[in-house]
């Protein structure tokens, strides 16, 4: 039993864990921390450095794949829509008439956006529209049905 190797592996595990705390959400350094812990326990059983390194590399690789799977699935459910993606499906107010050959403007969430009609119809000033998609700095809108009208 080599107690010095055990504490060296343990220190490495602690160091990688601290690095993981400094970079949350990635779980990159956490895999190295788990591998170092495996190397520490292997140093208590096997005196040779080669076996300890095999345990370190093996547990690190397995941890990478398991943590990657866990992080990928947990981040999908918790990621809210942000920036322009959050505008898709929202209602907007036409502040400048939109025609098939001339873009207009809509106001949504206190911001004005350049707008075009999806179906090339003319949309009058004051109409309520729904944002279908965004291309560049232009929102593409459709008029909403009468029963679908909501407060902006």
Decide if 105 is inside a domain: yes
The count of structural domains within the chain is 2
- Number of C-beta neighbours around residue 115 at 10 A: 23
- State whether 59 and 97 are in the same domain: no
Decide if 19 is inside a domain: yes
- State whether 90 and 29 are in the same domain: no
Decide if 58 is inside a domain: yes
- State whether 96 and 134 are in the same domain: yes
| pLDDT tens-digit readout, 28-73 | 899 999 999 999 999 999 888 899 999 999 999 999 998 888 777 6
Decide if 151 is inside a domain: no
CA–CA gap between residue 95 and residue 124 (Å, rounded): 9
Q: Which of these three, 78, 94, 123, is where a domain ends?
A: 78
- State whether 70 and 102 are in the same domain: no
Supply 59's token pair.
Answer: 């547990």
Measuring CA to CA, which residue among 31, 51, 39 is closest to residue 8? 39
| pLDDT tens-digit readout, 10-40 | 999 999 999 988 887 677 899 999 999 999 9
Decide if 116 is inside a domain: yes
Q: Which residues pair with 129 in a beta bridge?
A: 92, 143
Supply 93's token pair.
Answer: 């107010």
Q: Residue 111's domain is classified under what CATH number?
A: 2.40.50.140
Q: pLDDT above 70 covers what percent of the chain? A: 88
DSSP 102: S
Residue that the structure tokens 């279908």 belong to: 132
Q: What is the pTM of this model?
A: 0.50
- Residue 8 CA from chain centroid, whole number: 36
Decide if 152 is inside a domain: no
Residues 6+ apart with CB under 8 A from 7: 40
- State whether 43 and 94 are in the same domain: no
Provide the residue range defining the domain that includes 133: 83-145
């Amino acid at each position: 039993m080599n107690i010095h190797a055990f504490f060296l592996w343990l220190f490495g595990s602690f160091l990688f864990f601290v690095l993981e705390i400094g970079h949350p959400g990635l779980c990159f350094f956490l895999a190295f921390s788990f591998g170092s812990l495996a190397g520490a326990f292997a140093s208590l059983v096997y005196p040779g450095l080669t076996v300890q390194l095999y345990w370190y590399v093996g547990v690190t690789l397995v941890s990478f794949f398991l943590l990657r799977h866990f992080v990928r699935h947990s981040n999908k459910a918790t990621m809210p829509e942000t920036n322009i993606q959050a505008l898709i499906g929202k209602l907007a107010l036409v502040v400048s008439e939109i025609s098939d050959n001339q873009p207009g403007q809509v106001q949504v969430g206190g911001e004005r956006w350049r707008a075009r009609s999806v179906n090339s119809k003319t949309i009058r000033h004051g109409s309520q529209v729904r944002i279908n998609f965004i291309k560049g700095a232009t929102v593409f809108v459709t008029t909403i049905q009468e029963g679908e009208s909501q407060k902006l």
